[in-house]
A = this chain, B = another copy of it.
Amino acid sequence: MALSQELARGTVMPIVLALLNEQPMYGYELVKTVNDRTNGVLQFKEGTLYPLLHKMQSQRLIKAQWETAEDTGKQRKYYHITSKGEKLLTESKTQWQQLSEAVNVLLALG
């Protein structure tokens, strides 16, 4: 996860929900997007993401759909968020804000 510590634990699912809330994406795309947007601070691993996507699918937070890329002809599994996933995303955002505030106070960061 690039951060040497295990600080980022628990953030993966909320981040996946947030990205899929913007637009449907496939797994490999999620990995690259997170890496790009955070300048490598967060780096999803495939060994983390693929099992998580399957789990989220079984929990009906997301749905999957195979598509063939127009350019490359490769098979891609696109995921899109469900209404149940949207609800969890909203809750997760609130929880993250609460956690963030609490940790900032305790670490004396304002």
Contact = CB atoms under 8 A, between A and B. Distances in A.
Nearest to A39: B102
A5 B10 contact: yes
Contacts of A19: 106
Nearest to A33: B106
A interface residue count range (under 10 / 10 to 19 / 20 to 34 / 35 or more):
35 or more
Chain A contact residues: helix, strand, loop or mixed: helix
Given A105-B37, A106-B37, A107-B93, A99 B7 contact: yes
B95 A3 contact: yes
A89 to B, nearest CB: 8
Given A106-B19, A107-B96, A108-B18, A7 B3 contact: no
A34 to B, nearest CB: 7
A91 to B, nearest CB: 8
A103 interface: yes
